Every structure is written in C-alpha cells, then in structure tokens.
Structure 1
Amino acid sequence: MTTTPLPLPTCCTALSSDWPFPFPAEGARLVSMRFDPARLDHGDFGRCGIAPPRGVSKRQTEYLAGRLCAHEALRLTWGNGVMVKPNEDRSPAWPAGCVGSITHGGGWAGAVVAQASHWRGLGLDVERQLDVGRADRLMEEILTPAERQGYSTLSDTERALKVTLTFSLKESLFKALYPLVRTRFYFEHAELVHFSRDGSARLRLLTDLTPEWTRGAELDGQFVCFEDYLLSLVSIRAA
C-alpha cells in the first residue's frame, strides 16, 4: 500500500479528481487521466508494480492508465492505494469493503471507487461519440426493438447520441451488476427506458439474472458529454 501518489509514466498526463457527472454519488471518487500509447515505456509496468497484459501498445497503455487511476482513487478514498489486480474472469479484484469500476478508450482513462457501505455496485464507461454513419450500422446490434421505435425520425445528431449513449449505459450496467450476479448478459438483455438532456437515465432488465435481479428491475444511470467523449455511470446503492 502507498500513502503518496505514484510517479506517473511519460505516456500519462496528470491525474484529475474532478467529478464530471451532473449528479453526485455519495462517497464515490472518480480519478481520470489522458494517455498516449506512442509514449509507452515498457519499463513503466515494473516501476509501477503492474504485470503487463498481453497485446499491442495501445491495449497495454490503456491497462496501465486505468490501473493508475484506480490506485489514486483508492488512495484518495482510504488514505492508501493498492494496485488492483485482475480476477480469473479478468474483472478488477477490488479490496475488501470497496466497489469500483475502470474504463478507458480513445486516450482517456478513469476509475470510480467507493466504500461498499455506500454502494453495492458501480459501473463506469467511456466511449468516443459515434458518427451517424457508424451509429446507423450498429443500431440493430445495440438497440432492442423497443429502443428502435422512432429511430428513423431522429436527426443525425440525435441518432448518433442515442446509439452511443445506449451502448455506453449498457456497458456501465454490466460493470455495476456483474460482480453481484456473476452472470454475463448482453445488449439485448437490457433497455434504455429514459434519458434526459440533464444527464439522467434509467435502464430496465429484460432477463432474469438472479432471484434478486429479475426481468423488469430498473436502475438509474447518468451521463455527461465532453469534447468528443461520452461518459456514463450506473450506481447501485447499498441497502
């Protein structure tokens, strides 16, 4: 455990602990950074105490940046930081009494953590906003039949936002729920039933995952757009 920030590799920018979302999540801490795979030094893994993953430099830099964000978020929350290792299923193995989520993409990485006494699950996802052509091509893979209603009447900007947002929120939903249900589910197993320009959203399960998490269960999410990114969060409050 470390009580001081780790030195950052040259492939990573300074860490930010700003809360970007429109609504607070009590006790949750989000840390983010930018990263550049072209500047990766493979010796950074050893210096940071992180086992490098397999893959190309892009994948390795994403992993490094995400773990450094998680380390700092844990340090800011508990006064000490630990390096989050992967479980056998490759999900992050958070310390006892902690919940969290890591995301990375398009040169941006972030991690959100909180005490399990406040939240049962947290799911964080960042996506580069889709252009309308790609959104239209991906629409049938991501949107359920109910979510597709009225899609063709939307403007180009609205269609691109809807597909990007639905994709991201379903990713966040999976990250928040998977540690609780230990059952994989996919885009067709949940639907976005509401979202607003104020950044609020609501999702509904379309399948039974456990006796507690069944078809029809609804969860709240939120999102924010910045630059050409969309960041989403699904939070499951502790009882």
Structure 2
Amino acid sequence: MQRLSLARHPGGLPDAFLLPFGVEEGDDAHFARHGLACPPSVARSVPKRRAEYLAGRRAALAALAEAGGGAVDLAVTPSRAPAWPGGFIGSITHAAGIAAAVALRGGAMRGVGIDIEHVATEGALDAIAQSVIDASERQALDGLAQRLGWPMALTVAFSAKESFYKATAATVGRIFEFSALKVVDAHDGTVEAETAEALAASLPAGMRFRLGYSLLLDDATVITSCAWSR
C-alpha cells in the first residue's frame, strides 16, 4: 500500500492510498485472507473485476482508518457505490493493475471524487474526444496538450469529469452525460470547469469547479480529484 499526496489538489484533500494488484488476486482465498466479503454481483464477474474490487476496498479501508473511521468492510449501495460510514465520505477508483481511494470526515465537504486513468491509446482518442469534449473544450485544452501531449490532455479531461461525477452523483441521483460539465481552462495541476446545465438545486448551471490532477507512473497515468465544498 502506498500513500499518494493530494496536497497540491484544490480542496485540501488528505492523502490517497494506492494499491497495485494482479488479476490473480481476485480469487476467494484473497478475499478470505483480507477478511472482506465478495458481493454476489462481483462474485459472478470476471477475475479482473473481482481483483479490482478487492484492491479498491482494501485501499478504501486504509484511507478510512487514516480518517478515523472504524469500518471493517464497505457494503455496496443499490447504485453500486460504496456505503461509507455515517459522517464520512470517500471515493474509490481503479485502472488496469492499480486501485486508489480517499476518505475523510464530511464536515464542510459535500462530496469527493477521485479517478485514475492510464493515458488514452492513439486508437481510442477520436472516440473519447467525440463523447467527452466539444470544440470549445478542445480549445481550452490546447495549452495543456502542448505541455503533456494531446493523449494525456484528453485523458486528464476525461478523468476530471469522472471525478466530478463521483463527487456529485449522490446529490444528483441520476446518470448524466459528460457534457454536463464543461472544461474552460487547464493549468499545471488544475482543471477549471463549470456546469453546463442544472443538475440539482445545489448544482445550478454555471457553477464553477477547480479539479486537481497529478501524473503518476512515468507520466503515463493520471489521478484527478473533485472536492465539492458545502
């Protein structure tokens, strides 16, 4: 288990906990070794899904313990999100071979989301761009693309929108499209964005968000965060 500082991300988030994993770690023996339950919906899944679920829960429990929570497992809600203990909020994410989680006391924070992604492959760029950003967002990402390359700039935008979704999903209560959040600027370590439509009473159109990002693993992977204050 590794600690990953999010101190440079907006919102004053605590460290995330990062855990590499292998597909072979999704068998019953690994769940038993760590004293964690495998929900039926996950038990029926492919080994990769079982392994990433276990790694994500292990990272989440480490983050929760650091925040002062005493949970020994996290159930799955009807929306398939983790059921965090009362008074705590958190987020779990995983990409191929790596999982991460963050947890903190709710307090002044309404929601938190993190997302980890490996840089998009050349063959996937067009499809991701068409579904995630529009022409004005592409222009807003130009400066970031000049520094990081277009594949990583697009991955940062995709991941930032995923983090926003996780931070706000419980309040919105429904699935919404990538177009609901528009990237308006991107700097070293931050993405400026605003809601393009009203998602809830507390999320009106035009609400601004500052999301954070850090590059990992020889700059081939990104972790983003969204800290939604009250």
- TM-score if structure 2 supplies the norm length? 0.88
Alignment of 1:201-212 (within 5 A): 201-212=191-202
Q: What's the counterpart of residue 125 of structure 2?
A: 135
Deviations 1:211-237 (A, max 9, x none): 221111111110011122110000012
What amino acid is the match of 1:139? A
Question: How big is the shift at 1:161?
Answer: 1.9
- What does residue 159 of structure 2 align with? 168
Q: Give the alignment partner of residue 38 of structure 1, picking from 1, 9, 24.
A: 24
1:229 aligns with 2:216: no
Q: Which moved more, 1:210-219 or 1:130-139?
A: 130-139
Q: Which residue of 2 aligns with 1:6?
A: none
Q: Alpha carbons of 1:139 and 1:181: their partners in 2 closer, same or farther (altered >3 Å)? A: same
After TM superposition, give the deviation of residue 114 of structure 1 in Å.
0.8
Alignment of 1:69-88 (within 5 A): 69-78=59-68, 80-88=70-78
Aligned to 1:8: none
Q: Which has a greater percent of helix?
A: 2
SS of the equivalent of 1:22 reads coil
One-letter amino acid matched to 1:200: T
1:29–1:77 Cα contact (<8 Å) kept: no
Please give the per-residue CA displacement for 1:186-209, whole angstroms capped at 9, x wherever unaligned. 111111111112x01121111111
* The 10-residue stretch of structure 1 (90-99 or 148-157) with the greater mean CA deviation from structure 2: 148-157
Equivalent position SS for 2:64: helix
Q: 1:38 to 1:231 in 2, by over 3 A?
A: same
| Aligned-residue identity in percent | 27
Instruction: Find the aligned partners of 1:38 and 1:86 in 2 and give their Cα distance.
Output: 23
- Total equivalences in the alignment: 223
Report the equivalent of 1:63: 53
The SS at the match of 2:182 is strand
> For 1:1-239, what aligned pairs fall within 5 Å after superposition?
15-20=1-6, 22-23=8-9, 25-26=11-12, 28-47=14-33, 48-52=35-39, 53=42, 54-78=44-68, 80-149=70-139, 158-197=149-188, 199-227=189-217, 228-238=220-230
Mapped to 1, the partners of 2:10 and 2:142 lie a distance apart of 34
Q: C-alpha distance in 2, partners of 1:203/1:94?
A: 27
